[in-house]
Amino acid sequence: MTVMQLCFSFQGRISRKTYWVMQCILFALTVILYVIVNRITVPAEAYYDRIQSLGDLLDVTVLLLMPTVYVNLVVIGIIVAPVGTLTSLASSSGFFFLLLAPVLVNFAILVKRWHDRNKSAWWAFIHLVPIIGSVWTFVECGFFRGTTGENRFGHDLLQLR
């Protein structure tokens, strides 16, 4: 599977190892985007004052623990009237469009991982359910082995080795 197929195709299966590697890459990309946009949207003289606020500490904590949950919060912050530190960052349309690519790649990765579990792509939408969906996705996609042998979405990648 090529990198383009891995990132932008919604067909096929991927192993847990590939899933975790891609999640780490997306996590690093999200952190880098967060830092860049934060430096751009906050004036230099106010930057260190802003870091000391409790809101930023919570923002960074959520970002580090579950980057896709953070993306969901940013989208919610854009839809609902933006107020506060998290949503002031979310109100930046540039940040939204920067995060769109990692979100689409993450969705493609989730779909392929659900396929490995022999489940439909529709299961990727459970990730959008607050807290329960993220935990369910984290456990099932991250820790459970895929279907042994061929399933309706393709061959078992571990047997092909």
Is residue 149 one of the residues assigned to a domain?
no
Q: Using CA atoms, how far apart are residues 25 and 35, in angstroms rounded to an integer?
A: 16
Q: How many CB atoms lie within 10 A of CB 61?
A: 11
Is residue 157 one of the residues assigned to a domain?
no
Domain residues for the domain of 107 are 9-143
Is residue 100 one of the residues assigned to a domain?
yes
Q: Using CA atoms, how far apart are residues 33 and 57, in angstroms rounded to an integer?
A: 17
Note the Cα 112 to chain centre separation in Å. Answer: 14
52, 85 Cβ separation under 8 angstroms: no
Q: Which two tokens stand for residue 120?
A: 């439909």
List beta partners, residue 35: none
Is residue 40 one of the residues assigned to a domain?
yes
Residue 6 has pLDDT above 50, yes or no: yes
Is residue 159 one of the residues assigned to a domain?
no
pTM greater than the 0.85 cutoff: no
Query: Structural domain tally of the chain?
Result: 1
Q: Using CA atoms, how far apart are residues 11 and 73, in angstroms rounded to an integer?
A: 28
Is residue 4 one of the residues assigned to a domain?
no
pLDDT per position as a tens digit, 64-114: 555 555 555 555 454 444 444 555 554 555 556 666 777 788 889 999 999
Is residue 72 one of the residues assigned to a domain?
yes
Predicted confidence at residue 149, as pLDDT, reads 87
Is residue 105 one of the residues assigned to a domain?
yes
* Helix extents (H) in the chain: 3-8, 16-41, 44-51, 54-65, 67-79, 84-90, 93-116, 132-143
